[in-house]
C-alpha cells in the first residue's frame, strides 16, 4: 500500500473522462454542487438532497468496515488513486453517492418544475453511470462493489422517499432539531466500527455527518428567524430561460459563497487543530496524532459542521448584504 504503480496512458479521452467522473463522487463536488443548489435553485430540493446524501453515505461507509471486503488486487489492476486504497471495497460509496444525488435531485424536482422527465432520467443515469465506471477504470472497485453500491443506494431512496416531507418538516420546525442534529451524528462518529488498522473511512464519515449537521442547524435557524419555508416565498430560480442578468447573479452568488465556504474550512481547520494540539500535547504536523479518535472526530466534525452552517446561514446573509438575493 502507498506504492504507486507505473503506467502508460494510451487513451487520454478515457483517462481524463474517468478521472473527472471520479471527482464527481469526492469532497470537491459535494462542497460545490450541493451549496450551489441551495443558493441558486431551490432550498427544499437542497435540503432533501443533503439529508439523503448524509444517510446514504453513513450507511455505505459503515457497511465497508463491517463487511471488510478487500479492494481489487494490484496487480493485475492498476490503481490510479492511493488515498482511499486503505479502505475496504464493498460497497462503492462513490456509486452510492452518485446514485443518491442524481436520482434524489430528479425525484425532488420532477413535480416542482416543468422539464422533460425523460431528459432528467437520462441525465441522472448518465451521471451515476460515469461515476460508477470511473471506479472500475481507476482500479478502485470490482464490478460487484459498484453494482452493490448503486443497488443499496436505490433501495434506500425507495425506503426513504415516503418519509421525505415528514423528515423535512421535523427538521425545520422541531425545537429539538438543533440538539439532535449535533448529538446523533457525534454519537455515531464516536461509536464507529473499530478496525485492525487505520482507515480514512471514519474521518470521511465524520466529515459527511459534520457537514450535514451544520447544514441542518442552518436550515432550522433560517426557518425560525429568517425566511420560514412554509409561509413565504423564497427566491427560487427554477428552470426558466436564464437571462444574462440572472446568469451574472447566479455566478456571483456561487463565487462569493464558495469563497466563504473555503475560507471557513481553512480557518476552522487551523483553529480546531491548534486547540486539539494544545489540549493533547502534539504538534500540528503529527499525522499519527491526528488519526486518534479523540482528535480526528472533533477535528473533522467541528470543521465541517462549520462549513455546513456557513453555507446555509452566513453565505445567504452575505448575499443579502451584497444585493444578490
pLDDT, position 228:
64
Peptide bond into 206 cis (omega under 30): no
Is the confidence at residue 278, as pLDDT, over 50?
A: yes
Average pLDDT, the chain: 85
Say what the pTM is.
0.84
**Count of Cβ atoms closer than 10 Å to residue 204 Cβ:** 19
Is 169 one of the catalytic residues? no
Of the residues 43, 141, 169, 319, only one is catalytic, namely 141
Q: What is the mean pLDDT of residues 171-200?
A: 88
pLDDT, tens only, 207-242: 999 999 999 999 999 888 877 655 444 444 444 556
End-to-end CA distance of the chain: 49
- C-alpha cell, 249: 447573479
Cα dihedral across residues 113, 310, 32, 93: positive or negative: negative
Residue 126's pLDDT band (boundaries 50, 70, 90)? very high
Of the residues 43, 94, 169, 319, only one is catalytic, namely 94
Query: Does residue 59 or residue 5 have the better pLDDT?
Result: 59
Is 94 one of the catalytic residues? yes
**How many angstroms from the chain centroid is the CA of residue 2?**
25
Amino acid at each position: 500500500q502507498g506504492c504507486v504503480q507505473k503506467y502508460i496512458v494510451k487513451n487520454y479521452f478515457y483517462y481524463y473522462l474517468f478521472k473527472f467522473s471520479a471527482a464527481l463522487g469526492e469532497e470537491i463536488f459535494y462542497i460545490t454542487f450541493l451549496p450551489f443548489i441551495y443558493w441558486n435553485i431551490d432550498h427544499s430540493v437542497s435540503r432533501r438532497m443533503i439529508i439523503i446524501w448524509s444517510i446514504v453515505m453513513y450507511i455505505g461507509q459503515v457497511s465497508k468496515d463491517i463487511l471488510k471486503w478487500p479492494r481489487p488486487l494490484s496487480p493485475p489492476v492498476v490503481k490510479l488513486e492511493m488515498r482511499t486504497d486503505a479502505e475496504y471495497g464493498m460497497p462503492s460509496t462513490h456509486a452510492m453517492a452518485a446514485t443518491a444525488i442524481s436520482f434524489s435531485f430528479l425525484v425532488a424536482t420532477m413535480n416542482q418544475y416543468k422539464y422533460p422527465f425523460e431528459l432528467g432520467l437520462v441525465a441522472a443515469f448518465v451521471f451515476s453511470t460515469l461515476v460508477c465506471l470511473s471506479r472500475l477504470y481507476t482500479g478502485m472497485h470490482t464490478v460487484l462493489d459498484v453494482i452493490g453500491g448503486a443497488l443499496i443506494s436505490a433501495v434506500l431512496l425507495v425506503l426513504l422517499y415516503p418519509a421525505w416531507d415528514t423528515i423535512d418538516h421535523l427538521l425545520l420546525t422541531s425545537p429539538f432539531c438543533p440538539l439532535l442534529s449535533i448529538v446523533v451524528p457525534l454519537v455515531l462518529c464516536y461509536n464507529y466500527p473499530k478496525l485492525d488498522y487505520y482507515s480514512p473511512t471514519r474521518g470521511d464519515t465524520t466529515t459527511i455527518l459534520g457537514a450535514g449537521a451544520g447544514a441542518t442547524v442552518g436550515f432550522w435557524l433560517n426557518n425560525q428567524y429568517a425566511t420560514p419555508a412554509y409561509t413565504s416565498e423564497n427566491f427560487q430560480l427554477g428552470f426558466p430561460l436564464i437571462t444574462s442578468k440572472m446568469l451574472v447573479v447566479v455566478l456571483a452568488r456561487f463565487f462569493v459563497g464558495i469563497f466563504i465556504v473555503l475560507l471557513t474550512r481553512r480557518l476552522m481547520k487551523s483553529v480546531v487543530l491548534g486547540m486539539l494540539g494544545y489540549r493533547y500535547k502534539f504538534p500540528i504536523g503529527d499525522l499519527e496524532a491526528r488519526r486518534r479518535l479523540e482528535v480526528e472526530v472533533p477535528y473533522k466534525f467541528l470543521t465541517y459542521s462549520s462549513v455546513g452552517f456557513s453555507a446555509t446561514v452566513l453565505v445567504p446573509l452575505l448575499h443579502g448584504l451584497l444585493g444578490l438575493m
